[in-house]
Amino acid sequence: MSRLLAIPAVAALMVCAACGYHVVGTAGNTIPKTVQVIDVPTFKNSTNAFKLEQRLTAAVVRELQTRTQYKVRYSEDTTGADAILRGTVFAFSSNSLIYDPTIGRATTAQINVRMRVQLFDAKTNKVLYQNLDLSFRDQYEISGQASAYFDESSPAADRLSKSLAATVVAGILSGF
């Protein structure tokens, strides 16, 4: 009877071992061991969104500093860097999602950001990681009363920046 129970248990272990589960950074990491310093110059902004590139760059730098062992520098001068992470914001939009006909205005809006990032070896220019079309969005509410109005687009952009940064760093560490 115990043999009958052992066969499914062994089969389940074999299936789990073949699923590809691994600790982030141990399999598929495309960053060479020689990389110790990553420079992140301010991302380029090809949109009309004011200072969005600074917000996104700062979020990615913070995420790299908290989740990796690399020395991460937020610098335009990439001298001495082992790798450089560059990014370009190429699309930004803010659209109303929900319109309240009783007050005659939108009550919920959404911001959308699209960008590309590329991490490359500073010495060989070899691409270590890239994602050429990151797309993120976040919603926020718009107050219907002028006296209680508070611009929620900035906190929404902060939330979006954190989400984008987490995705970029996870992609770098996992090789996706």
Nearest CA to 128 out of 119, 136, 116 is that of 119
| Band of pLDDT at residue 174, cut at 50, 70 and 90 | confident
Residue 172 vs residue 104, higher pLDDT: 172
The pair phi, psi for residue 15, each rounded to 5°, is -65, -45
Total Cβ atoms within 10 A of residue 45: 20
Answer yes or no: are the C-beta atoms of 34 and 66 closer than 8 Å: no
Over the stretch 85-138, which tens digit does the pLDDT of each residue have?
999 999 999 888 787 787 777 778 888 999 999 999 999 999 999 999 999 988
Rg (CA), the chain: 22
Q: Is the pLDDT of residue 147 over 80?
A: no
Answer yes or no: are the C-beta atoms of 143 and 105 closer than 8 Å: no
Q: What is the pLDDT, as a whole number, of residue 8?
A: 61
Q: What is the CATH number of domain 29-174?
A: 3.30.160.150
Q: What is the pLDDT, as a whole number, of residue 60?
A: 96
Over the stretch 16-54, which tens digit does the pLDDT of each residue have?
555 555 554 455 566 888 899 999 999 999 999 889 999
Q: What is the pTM of this model?
A: 0.77
Q: What is the pLDDT, as a whole number, of residue 28?
A: 54
Q: Where are the domains of the chain?
A: 29-174
Q: What is the pLDDT, as a whole number, of residue 73?
A: 92
Over the stretch 67-90, which tens digit does the pLDDT of each residue have?
999 999 998 988 999 999 999 999
